[in-house]
Amino acid sequence: MTLKALLTGNEAIARGAYEYGISVAAAYPGTPSTEILENISKYPEIYSQWSPNEKVALEVGVGASIAGARTLVAMKHVGVNVAADPLFTVAYSGVRGGLVLVSADDPGMHSSQNEQDNRHYAPFAKIPMLEPSDSQEAKDMVKLALEISETFDTPVLLRITTRIAHSQSLVELGEPMERVVKPYEKDAKKYVMIPAHGRTRRVFIEERDAKLAAFSEQVSVNFTEMNDPSFGLITSGVSYQYVKEAFPTASILRLAMTHPIPKQKITDFASKVDTLFVVEELEPYLETQIKALGIKVIGKELLPPYGELSVALLQNKLGAYLNISAPVAATSEQEATSEAVIPFSAPVRPPVMCPGCPHRGVFYVIKQLKLVVSGDIGCYTLGTMPPLEAMDTCICMGASISGALGMEKANPELAGRLVAVIGDSTFMHSGVTGLMDIVYNKSAATVIILDNSITAMTGHQYHPGTGKTLMNEDAPKVDFVALAKSLGIRRAVEVDAFDLERVKEVIKEEVAAPEPSVIITRQPCALMLKGPSTPVVCTDCKSCRVCLRLGCPALSYDEAGQTVVVNGALCTGCNVCIQVCKFDALHKGGA
Amino acid sequence: MSGVLNILFVGVGGQGAILASKILSHVALSKGWDVKLSEIHGMAQRGGSVVTQVRMGEKVYSPTIEQGEVDIFVAFERLEAYRWAHMLREDGKAIVNDQAIAPLTVLIGAAKYPETILDDLTKCMKNLVIAPALDLAREAGNAKATNVVLMGLLAATMDIPLEKWIEALEAKVPAKLLEVNKKAFMAGYEFAQQQA
């Protein structure tokens, strides 16, 4: 009997890496892709690593492939933007060992700043793309991607979405194949992309694309399920599951190799059905290409180009068009188009900074000082929420520092009240070049590095500032102060994130200074604390409620008792609230 | 959607929905069913509202459950029961932990925690069991086993032999916590039977 396991798409991709001979894997963590490398690191046969950012991760992957190893690189959708530079040229050089780039997109923006549809990267970079519909296919397509990569001499984009990455379904487990690294040979015409070599490879790409298009016509993952010919649906990815459930008797053309698309297969399918729909999340990626074939197809006229699809949405929208009474019939236009009818109104429960989070006190001080905050991406982005509301911008990884420089140059009046706020992992990812720019172009900006010694938001991954690697080995640790000084920063100060008085003093001093400065606030992430804590105690509360402005989940106000209450099960004893209480009502516990 | 059983867990980040879903899927797999499970990780882990969708049956396609299609609704916290009540089908079964965890909006005084939740739910849910799961877990010896108490309540509503659930606990719970979790599970199971 074959062994089956319930795996997420991410776990299945890691299993595929193990079974199909991947020797090197690299990534920078990012939801919903993080667990791919976390799971690969459980197989000691594979060399795996966190890179400081996605560009570096892909470059490590390109080098490993050129050196002859089967290689996998994973990142979230916006990470591919960072890695786009090597991607577009490794598309020219091609590979020696198979090279798979996993892009985990996030329709619905569950945990992302945008909703870009990375399928467009495949035709843009001229590389083939595969899209699995469940975990079994996610594993199988690691194999297929490696075979395509090595057969056609190209990197392959394995594109998943949150619902594939984080949904569990059954996967058959197989034995691992032998891991072989091909012997190294110098081949400068292929791997040195000077214009003369590039022009040769440019022609090769067109030939490769034509061969891949022919392959796409016959590859078994692009299949037709002929049924009721009155309407047909072309679909891919998780949308295939929604289509199967919404229209069990429909004819379906399921595409998993979605670049290049199988034009003949699509034309044949279209000729066999009366009405043709394309069901895809986000952009009309397939639709535009199908329409370019001169085929009449209905897609985004009915389905939204944003957010996730669902069975009910398809039944309501396509069912209404076809006059099929759907099992989940809409009773009004409003129900068909908008969200659920919610019977009760419940106060929202957004994610919050944890009790004991070292970012809280720093943002409290920043708010007190009424500073303009050029923000960045991480747990600390939650500092934008009430009651702290201490962030003015958040665009992309690293933009806090360079953005602050632009703000100051555009509006010098901001110079005396502007700070950039960035986490330690994000600083390693892409903050260092911005800091260099601040020094070089003579800004007076103050950069606050919130150092909690981990990549926290994605669930605690190591980075070059932590002294540990993904494979759990000790590593040299980046010294932030020495790094800042080497870039030309003369004012670099370290401060305990829980010492509010000192934090305030330092921020005031550095913001006023007429040259750039770096403040490093230190305390480990509260979720990494081990051992029992001594909760804060509240006695003789004067009901001023100033402490509630910290937005700590461990503090609440009891109206009946006219007192602030400390939830001892949540309080970590960080003692930040003690420092904001003007009446000494809050005390250290355990005394 | 005949032939597929839809189970929804709703709660607050950190309440142990992940272990609960592992126990449930272990049971479903031991019955030879197809199973799909969907949950959103990431920002929701930081004390936000958390939803886990489990679907099981002969053949399951979509990993997600539609509004009004949940057969068994398990709420780890009462406000989350309120928030997601519309997911339950009219004749579906609901298990609600009476525990209240105030969201930050309530803690800072920007919103009120609704007072009529349990009354409102009783009116709109035909098959509802409200359980003091936190108290039952404490009595069993560990407040953190609240999730397993709720699994005991869930087991009592499903037509699956008790041994299968105990096997799942043995497979998924760390050995040193097994005894207290078995006690917690049985506390939930017996509470549900007393209500029936």
Alpha carbon of A408: minimum distance to chain B alpha carbons (Å):
31
Rounded to the nearest integer, the mean pLDDT of chain A is 95
The domain tally of chain B equals: 1
Task: Give the C-alpha distances (Å, rounded to integers) separating A289 from A51, A123, A344.
Answer: 36, 11, 44
Nearest-CB residue to A342 (from B44, B63, B86): B86
Residue B55: CA count within 13 A, CB half-sphere: 24
Q: A200-217, pLDDT tens digit by residue?
A: 999 999 999 999 999 999
How many separate helices (H) and strands (E) can be counted in chain B?
8, 6
Average pLDDT over residues A76-97: 98
Please, which contacts does A366-372 make with residues 24 or more away whose CB atoms are closer than 8 Å?
A: A366/A390, A366/A419, A366/A421, A366/A448, A366/A507, A368/A504, A369/A417, A369/A504, A369/A507, A369/A508, A369/A511, A370/A417, A371/A417, A371/A418, A371/A419, A371/A507, A371/A511, A372/A407, A372/A414, A372/A417, A372/A418, A372/A419
In sequence order, which residues have a C-beta less than 8 Å from that of residue B115 and are 6 or more positions away? none
CB-based contact A328 B68, cutoff 8 Å = yes
Complex confidence, ipTM:
0.95
Mutating which of A344, A380, A538, A556 best tests the B interface, going by the most B Cβ atoms within 10 A?
A: A344
- Please give the pLDDT value at position A590: 78
Is residue A423 located within the same domain as residue A513? yes
CB-based contact B49 A242, cutoff 8 Å = no
Res A448 pLDDT > 60: yes
CB contact B66 to A (< 8 Å): yes
B56 touches B33 (CB < 8 A): yes
Is residue A541 located within the same domain as residue A519? no
Q: Are strands A99-105 and A156-161 parallel, antiparallel or unpaired?
A: parallel
B 67-106 residues inside an 8 A Cβ radius of A: 67-69, 79-80, 82-83, 85-87, 102-106
Is residue A437 located within the same domain as residue A295? no
- Please give the pLDDT value at position A207: 98
A265 touches A232 (CB < 8 A): no
C-beta neighbour count of A377 within 10 angstroms? 24
Place of tokens 């895809």: A280
Is residue A214 located within the same domain as residue A238? no
Assigned domain for A240 exists: yes
Res A281 pLDDT > 70: yes
Q: What domain range includes position B71?
A: 4-195
Is residue A154 located within the same domain as residue A167? yes
Contacts of A384 in chain B (CB under 8 A): none
Q: What's the CATH number where A285 sits? A: 3.40.50.920
DSSP letter for B126, please. S
Is residue A387 located within the same domain as residue A332? no
Q: Using CA atoms, how far apart are residues A583 and B172, in angstroms rounded to an integer?
A: 49
- At residue B52, what are phi and psi to the nearest 5 degrees? -120, 130
Element (H, E) at A79: helix A77-82
Q: What domain range includes position A53?
A: 4-218
Task: Give the C-alpha distances (Å, rounded to integers) separating A495 from A358, A449, A501, A521.
Answer: 12, 10, 10, 5
Residue A219: CA count within 13 A, CB half-sphere: 26
Tokens, residue A62: 């390109």
Q: What's the CATH number where B155 sits? A: 3.40.920.10
Task: Give the C-alpha distances (Å, rounded to integers) separating B42 from A29, A80, A353, A448.
Answer: 11, 19, 13, 24
Assigned domain for A344 exists: no
CB contact B25 to A (< 8 Å): yes
- Please give the pLDDT value at position B41: 59
Q: What's the CATH number where A482 sits? A: 3.40.50.970
Res A227 pLDDT > 90: yes
Helix (H, G, I), strand (E, B) or coil at B42: coil
Is residue A399 located within the same domain as residue A521? yes
Q: Name the least confident of A251-260, A308-317, A462-471, B15-24.
A: B15-24
Res A364 pLDDT > 60: yes
Q: Are strands B70-75 and B4-12 parallel, antiparallel or unpaired?
A: parallel
In sequence order, which residues have a C-beta less than 8 Å from that of residue A277 and are 6 or more positions away? A231, A232, A233, A234, A297, A298, A299, A302, A318
Is residue A79 located within the same domain as residue A137? yes
- Please give the pLDDT value at position A328: 47
Residue A579: CA count within 13 A, CB half-sphere: 18
- Please give the pLDDT value at position A529: 87
Q: What percent of chain A has pLDDT over 90?
A: 92
A572 touches A529 (CB < 8 A): yes
Tokens, residue A193: 């992309």
- Please give the pLDDT value at position A333: 41
Assigned domain for A174 exists: yes
The runs of H, that is alpha helices, within A175-322 are: 188-191, 195-218, 239-246, 263-272, 285-292, 311-322
Is residue A473 located within the same domain as residue A557? no
Q: Report the alpha-carbon angle B11-B17-B20, nearest 5.
A: 135
- Please give the pLDDT value at position A460: 94
Residue A524: CA count within 13 A, CB half-sphere: 8
Element (H, E) at A166: none
- The more confident residue out of A314 and A339 is A314
- At residue A5, what are phi and psi to the nearest 5 degrees? -140, 150
DSSP state string for A346-394: -------PPTT-THHHHHHHHHHTT-EEE--SSGGGGGGSTTT---SB-
Nearest by Cα to A460 from A528, A378, A531: A528
The domain tally of chain A equals: 4
Res A325 pLDDT > 60: no
Q: Using CA atoms, how far apart are residues A85 and A90, in angstroms rounded to an integer?
A: 9
Tokens, residue A353: 């900074």
CB-based contact B67 A340, cutoff 8 Å = yes
Contacts of B87 in chain A (CB under 8 A): 340
Res A335 pLDDT > 80: no
Q: Using CA atoms, how far apart are residues A502 and A523, in angstroms rounded to an integer?
A: 14
Tokens, residue A87: 């991607």
Q: Which residue of chain B comes nearest to A351, CA vs CA?
A: B48
CB-based contact A351 B48, cutoff 8 Å = yes
Distance in Å from the first CA to the final CA of chain A: 62
Q: Which residue of chain B comes nearest to A312, CA vs CA?
A: B66
Q: A100-124, pLDDT tens digit by residue?
A: 999 999 999 999 999 999 999 999 9
Contacts of A387 in chain B (CB under 8 A): 108, 110
Contacts of A166 in chain B (CB under 8 A): 38-41
Alpha carbon of B160: minimum distance to chain A alpha carbons (Å):
20
Assigned domain for A148 exists: yes
Is residue A172 located within the same domain as residue A232? no
Q: Is B58 exposed, middle or buried (0-12, 13-18, 19+ CB in 10 A)?
A: exposed
Mutating which of B43, B83, B121 best tests the A interface, going by the most A Cβ atoms within 10 A?
A: B43
Assigned domain for A367 exists: yes
- Single-letter residue type at A220: S
Last-in-domain residue among A191, A218, A245: A218
Average pLDDT per 10 consecutive residues for chain B, totaling 196 residues: 85 89 93 91 69 95 96 97 96 97 91 95 96 97 96 96 96 96 98 91
- Please give the pLDDT value at position A341: 63
- Establish, for the pair of chains A and B, how many residue pairs have beta carbons separated by less than 8 Å: 165
Res A591 pLDDT > 90: no
CB contact B39 to A (< 8 Å): yes
The pTM (predicted TM-score) of the whole model is 0.96
Is residue A297 located within the same domain as residue A432? no
Tokens, residue B116: 């009529």
Assigned domain for A160 exists: yes
Is residue A22 located within the same domain as residue A48? yes
Res A511 pLDDT > 60: yes
Contacts of B75 in chain A (CB under 8 A): none
